[in-house]
Amino acid sequence: MPGMDVLIGIVAMLVPASAIAAVLLPPVLLAVGRRRPLLAAGAYLAALAFVAAWVIAANDHMEWADRTGGQGSVVAGGSWLVLALAAATCSVVASLHRSPAVPAAQA
């Protein structure tokens, strides 16, 4: 079915791109935004850990496919990547979210 091949091709291109976005976008926005740096930095570190776990899981899956002759999957370890994207999104939101204004002390 040609439609399914196109869909798999799109997914195959978006998976690495989303991993790159999860690694590169939060520190840029953290440097620019500086709204809640501790929360944003913590979420970014979590995103990096999840991306590393995704790379390890995908690599293990492809090694298994090579060793056994099985068919590999482009979405192997995808749950780690979803967690990385969620943590990166949290970091971006924390970087851009404005804290509530504190009223000035009245003299």
Instruction: Give this prediction's pTM.
Output: 0.69
Smallest CA-to-CA distance from 85 within 38, 57, 44, 56 is with 44
Confidence of residue 95 (pLDDT cuts 50, 70, 90): confident
Helices (H) and strands (E) in the chain, counts: 3, 0
pLDDT digits (tens, 9 = 90+) for 50-80: 989 988 988 888 888 888 888 877 677 888 8
In the prediction, which pLDDT does 62 show? 84
Q: What is the largest CA-CA distance in the chain?
A: 77
In the prediction, which pLDDT does 93 show? 83
Q: What amino acid occupies position 23?
A: V
- With vertex at residue 36, the alpha carbon angle to CA 35 and CA 39, rounded to the nearest 5 degrees, is 155
Confidence of residue 25 (pLDDT cuts 50, 70, 90): confident
Angstrom distance (rounded) from CA 89 to CA 84:
8
10 Å CB burial of residue 30 (0-12, 13-18, 19+) is buried
In the prediction, which pLDDT does 34 show? 62
